[in-house]
């Protein structure tokens, strides 16, 4: 086998591994939208969902955190900021959004609006100027989001706007994390420390002693679903898949795959929840998805 053919095989393998990882993480995030909406509509409270997210992920993250000791290379100030941006305040806004709005809106107002919000925070905080193409992408995202809101008013989902605002608030928190993560070069082990372990230490006692719970009334199937999709799959497996995809096919291409999450989440919500969008809902996705791609792929 020649050197050229060996290099070609390696490139093909990287392409296959990276593409598979990017597709998997897009499917995971889209399925998480449906699982979260299902959990919010069950006997479980949003506080239970947050407890699954932090408590279970902390159990799996703790061995890695103890092994890599990321607190040694992170100041207390930065640790506090990252922990807050990924805290129960953030996740409770998100879960509460699913009480009012359909799963598809989680994809539109969190995953869809995320690139635009991140650009805005980068401009306000770091004075990073957006290009004309990126501003066009932001405009398309905003038009798509407005159409989604109008669509739910026509479908008589009166309180959907409340959930949409909660999703946007959650998106602001997560966009802030993305900005500081890039600025401070936050490592995977540092994310696990702040997101899972520290937040579990802060939240779990409060949840256990003070917050309402519906775990005793929940079905076994619902508990298994939420344990997997809040505590294990997105926060740990999803994180590793994103890193794998970015390493093999690049962060820009990975971001392009993630643009499929709102549309994929909408399809899954139709299949599993019976939440059928109207004409404007589908139109919003057709406008929103190119906007996400433009913001994600076009350089400043």
Q: Tell me the DSSP string of the chain.
A: --HHHHHHHHHHHHHHHHHHHHHHHHHHHHHHHHHHHHHHTSSS-HHHHHHIIIIIHHHHHHHHHHHH-GGGGS-HHHHHHHHHHTSHHHHHHHHHHHHHS-HHHHIIIIIITHHHHHHHHHHHHH-PPPPHHHHHHHHHHHHHHHHHHHHHHHTT-TTHHHHHHHHHHHHHHHHHHHHHHHHHT--HHHHIIIIIIIHHHHHHHHHHHHS---GGGS-HHHHHHHIIIIIIIIIIIIHHHHHHHHHHH-HHHHHHHHTTHHHHHHHHHHHHH-----HHHHHHHHHHHHHHHHHHH---
pLDDT of residue 128 exceeding 90, the answer is: no
Average pLDDT over residues 158-169: 87
Q: Please, what is the average pLDDT of the chain?
A: 84
pLDDT of residue 168 exceeding 60, the answer is: yes
Average pLDDT over residues 53-70: 94
* In the chain, % of residues over pLDDT 90: 38
For residue 163, tell me if it sits in a domain: yes
For residue 154, tell me if it sits in a domain: yes
12 token code pair: 């093909």
For residue 252, tell me if it sits in a domain: yes
pLDDT of residue 9 exceeding 60, the answer is: no
Structural domain tally of the chain? 1
For residue 33, tell me if it sits in a domain: no
Output the pLDDT for position 247: 74
Most confident of 25-29, 95-99, 109-113, 176-180: 95-99
Output the pLDDT for position 251: 63
For residue 123, tell me if it sits in a domain: yes
Average pLDDT over residues 37-47: 94
Average pLDDT over residues 129-152: 76
For residue 7, tell me if it sits in a domain: no
Q: Choose the weakest-confidence range: 29-38, 46-55, 142-151.
A: 142-151
Question: Which of 256 and 290 is assigned the larger pLDDT?
Answer: 290
Output the pLDDT for position 154: 52
How far is the CA of 235 from the CAs of 86, 89, 105, 216, 297, in angstroms? Answer: 11, 17, 21, 25, 24
Output the pLDDT for position 222: 93
pLDDT of residue 99 exceeding 50, the answer is: yes
For residue 12, tell me if it sits in a domain: no
Output the pLDDT for position 3: 45
For residue 80, tell me if it sits in a domain: yes
User: Which residues, including other chains, have CB under 8 Å from residue 40's CB and lie 6 or more apart?
Assistant: 46, 49, 95, 96, 98, 99
142 token code pair: 């905003």
pLDDT of residue 180 exceeding 90, the answer is: no
- Domain assignment of residue 275, given as a range: 44-297
């Amino acid at each position: 086998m020649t050197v050229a053919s060996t290099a070609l095989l390696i490139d093909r393998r990287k392409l296959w591994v990276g593409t598979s990882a990017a597709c998997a993480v897009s499917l995971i995030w889209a399925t998480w939208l449906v699982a979260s909406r299902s959990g919010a509509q069950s006997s479980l409270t949003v506080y239970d969902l947050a407890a699954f997210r932090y408590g279970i992920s902390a159990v799996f993250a703790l061995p890695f955190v103890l092994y890599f000791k990321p607190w040694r290379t992170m100041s207390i100030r930065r640790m506090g900021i990252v922990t807050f941006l990924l805290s129960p305040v953030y996740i409770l806004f998100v879960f509460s959004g699913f009480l009012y709005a359909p799963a598809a809106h989680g994809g539109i107002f969190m995953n869809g609006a995320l690139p635009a919000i991140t650009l805005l925070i980068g401009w306000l905080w770091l004075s990073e100027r957006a290009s004309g193409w990126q501003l066009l992408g932001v405009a398309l995202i905003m038009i798509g989001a407005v159409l989604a809101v109008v669509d739910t008013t026509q479908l008589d989902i009166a309180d959907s706007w409340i959930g949409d605002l909660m999703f946007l608030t959650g998106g602001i928190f997560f966009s802030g994390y993305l900005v500081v993560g890039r600025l401070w070069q936050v490592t995977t082990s540092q994310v696990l420390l702040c997101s899972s372990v520290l937040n579990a230490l802060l939240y779990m006692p409060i949840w256990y002693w003070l917050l309402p719970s519906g775990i005793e009334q929940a079905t076994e199937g619902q508990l298994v679903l939420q344990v997997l999709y809040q505590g294990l799959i997105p926060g740990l497996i999803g994180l590793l898949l994103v890193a794998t995809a970015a390493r093999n096919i690049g962060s820009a291409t990975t971001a392009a795959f993630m643009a499929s999450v709102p549309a994929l989440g909408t399809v899954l919500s139709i299949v599993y929840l019976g939440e059928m969008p109207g004409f404007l809902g589908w139109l919003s996705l057709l406008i929103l998805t190119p906007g996400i791609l433009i913001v994600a792929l076009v350089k400043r």
